[in-house]
A and B are shown apart, each in its own frame.
Chain A
């Protein structure tokens, strides 16, 4: 930790003789708005933040190290626990990396199931973000509305793979389970339902004057800063950079569907709010098309060798998770276990800009800014 933050400035006003003191405030790791066990040491002058230092690692479980002693299939459940709000994308990035190394063919039906699962998860993840962001700003209602709708997605996942958060759904070469009968119809219904619900979300929150004035113009940064900090996802797109891996480097079968990449130029919390809401709409759009074109039959797991041994060498793949660019690097020596595994976690990278954004802000803004970054601590600490 930076030692400078520990020295607080004491000053006595020459006019009034009043002694003022800077104060160190320890936010977290048990603070209700740090979304888990994130700790932030801030130096405040009144309510103005002079300096902030994030302290991470309270949820570090050594996933990457553990993976070195696990076979590739055994690593999949560990990825669920990284970004536990969006487990499907994590499942996918690992499988995608191994499949790329081995040059495996994925059956059509499995591709569709993967894509549907990932997009549903993106909607679920943004719903969690929407609810908790509003909760941080003091509105309790939206949180429960968002969770009601997320619950429907989790129920769908439950039917699909028997788990609600830690899915362990994808396998190298496909997916573990086929969609149960009627599942596709249920998902279609959900997409229509969610579209209607989104309108009511906007009615409840987006027009609220108090809400808008709270997030307008705070946590602002420009394109250059975003690129310098290697931000991705909505954090990057809010500064006007049109970069979405689903479009720019299509993986899975994203190139078959029509969708837009919402981009804003404000670079502040308001822009990020609107972008995430717009992304839900786009995800629903993808889902609609995918569910329509869903193949009526086919294999869900391709022809995969019984023991998975990627050839010696290394591979790095990246995909677009709800939080940004999630990457997986595998270095293999041709054995059934990776020699080294590394995840590029978007939450971790996006969080690095926090101290810069917090400087000069008030404590209330701190919560809003942290919320707008959308971190998942499981992923930050990995």
Chain B
């Protein structure tokens, strides 16, 4: 596939380019549909409920019904909203979340673009998602939205710093920013062991980046009703939900690639199981972890959230970089 993707665009292969993107989008929508179902089921069981079980067998069509409902809803727009920005915001939130998936190596063969700076691309692009949120908050002309949007901007920018810092350790160990090489370098040992500190910082910061419990302040229901998307309805609202889950998909992929050895088996003897199965297993474990947190954790307070990012996570991440740098240079015979 990579040969195809590395060709210069021409009339003949443009169709293939588009088709590949559509297939990825379809896979993604399938994931989002069933991630929501899975989330509701898991949280339901953890909270003594049943979860969706009415629409279709075992409630499997629940999300489909929900999306249909959103699609046929009236598209309302507040009277004093900034029309252009209001329309643009959901797209701004969604596009980068989808765009980051281009560099993700799902297995050895399934990867859309094998960039040398894949990791940097991910970080750069994911930094844009905050724009969608803050635009939505501003354009809605609603006080709750505004507070939610601003909280979100502060939070996502603050947590991006430790997030980026925590992956520097991995880059130092591997000596590359290419995601495929990072996975290949984990043949002997997954990065989660030598980079445990980085892993912990990453997983916490990722939670904040994704606006999920216990860092779901931007959409804190009990405080801000639902934060930045309080004025959105119908499909625009669906776009925000979609962006949230797609971003989660991206984050889960990244964490699998960076720390959990991507498509590599847990021990080399289990090599006969296809890489994609391993990938899905690790990926699902992380997604499950997120739902688990959501079912058990209360929400943090906004001031504590900030001081936690700057006073705890960032120093730990920096310490991790220092430690990794010292070890790496010691191993390469610098001392």
Contacts and interface: CB of A to CB of B under 8 A. Distances in A.
Nearest to A132: B222
Interface in A164-213: 204-205, 208, 210-211, 213
B223 A210 contact: no
Interface in B177-219: 213-214, 216-217
A292 to B, nearest CB: 31
Q: How large is the interface on B (under 10, 10 to 19, 20 to 34, 35 or more residues)?
A: 20 to 34
Contact of A148 (B48, B143, B297, B303): B48
Interface in B298-334: 298-304
A364 B302 contact: yes
B297 A208 contact: yes
Interface of A is mostly: helix
B222 A138 contact: yes
Interface in B38-58: 43, 46-49
B222 A136 contact: yes
A356 to B, nearest CB: 20
Contacts of A137: 222, 298-299
B49 A144 contact: yes
B295 interface: yes
Interface string B221-247: 111110000000000000000000000
B213 to A, nearest CB: 7
A146 B162 CA distance: 37
A134 B298 contact: yes
B85 interface: no
A141 B221 contact: no
Contact of A363 (B47, B147, B294): B147
Contact of B298 (A32, A47, A208, A362): A208
Interface of B is mostly: helix
A140 B300 contact: no
B271 to A, nearest CB: 40
A367 interface: yes
- Most interface-central of A25, A139, A362 (chain B CB within 10 A): A139
- Most interface-central of B144, B147, B223, B298 (chain A CB within 10 A): B298
Contacts of B151: 47
Q: How large is the interface on A (under 10, 10 to 19, 20 to 34, 35 or more residues)?
A: 20 to 34
Contact of A204 (B223, B224, B296): B296
B217 to A, nearest CB: 8
Contacts of A32: 221-222, 225
A139 to B, nearest CB: 4
A367 B298 contact: no
B220 interface: yes
A269 to B, nearest CB: 12
A275 B238 CA distance: 43
B47 A33 contact: no
Contacts of A61: none
A145 interface: yes
Interface in A98-146: 134-141, 144-145
B266 to A, nearest CB: 31
Given A134-B298, A138-B222, 14 more contacts: A23-B143, A47-B302, A137-B222, A137-B299, A138-B216, A138-B220, A139-B297, A141-B295, A144-B47, A144-B49, A148-B48, A214-B298, A362-B303, A365-B301
14 contacts: A23-B143, A25-B144, A31-B225, A47-B302, A138-B298, A141-B296, A205-B298, A210-B298, A210-B299, A210-B300, A214-B300, A214-B301, A362-B303, A364-B302
